[in-house]
Amino acid sequence: MPIQIGEPIPEVTLKRIREGMETIDTHSLFAGRRVALFAVPGAFTPTCSDKHLPGFIEHFDDFRRRGIEVYCMAVNDPFVMQAWARSQLVPEGLQMLSDGNGDLTRALGLEMDASSSGMGVRCRRFALYADNGVVRQLFVETPGEFKVSSADYLLDHIPD
């Protein structure tokens, strides 16, 4: 069953690259912070690269003005996430998180089988808002759609 509003973000570790590869736990990422987390099925894929990530880049300052951190996650390795960030000109501060083994994806109950596209198990497209590690808003897309997980939609549904 997928995570529900009012539940805490599960504790798992993710990877990211800054000065070098880092392992970071979700408790450290979410505790004491207001966070917009969005997930994509895959870096460099069409909707993810043409619409989803660019929307969060465009509205990054709007989130920050409201005191909200922005995290992007995909079931890709940290080197792919780093290359994708560079190719998309992701601003400093927008964290690109690798859930390479799908640990957080499974813990959230948001995995999908993309084997028919040669991608294996991936994360469903979603956006959530968490305050101090607790999910306050959650918007999960129907496979193949991009409506409720956009930056615009999430900004409109986060209380001030």
User: Cα separation of 77 and 14, whole Å?
Assistant: 10
Residues belonging to the active site:
48
Phi, psi angle pair for 74, to nearest 5°: -150, 155
What does the radius of gyration of the chain's CA atoms come to, in whole angstroms?
A: 14
Burial class (CB in 10 A: 0-12, 13-18, 19+), 34: middle
Question: Looking at 41-104, which runs of residues are DSSP E strands?
Answer: 68-74, 95-98
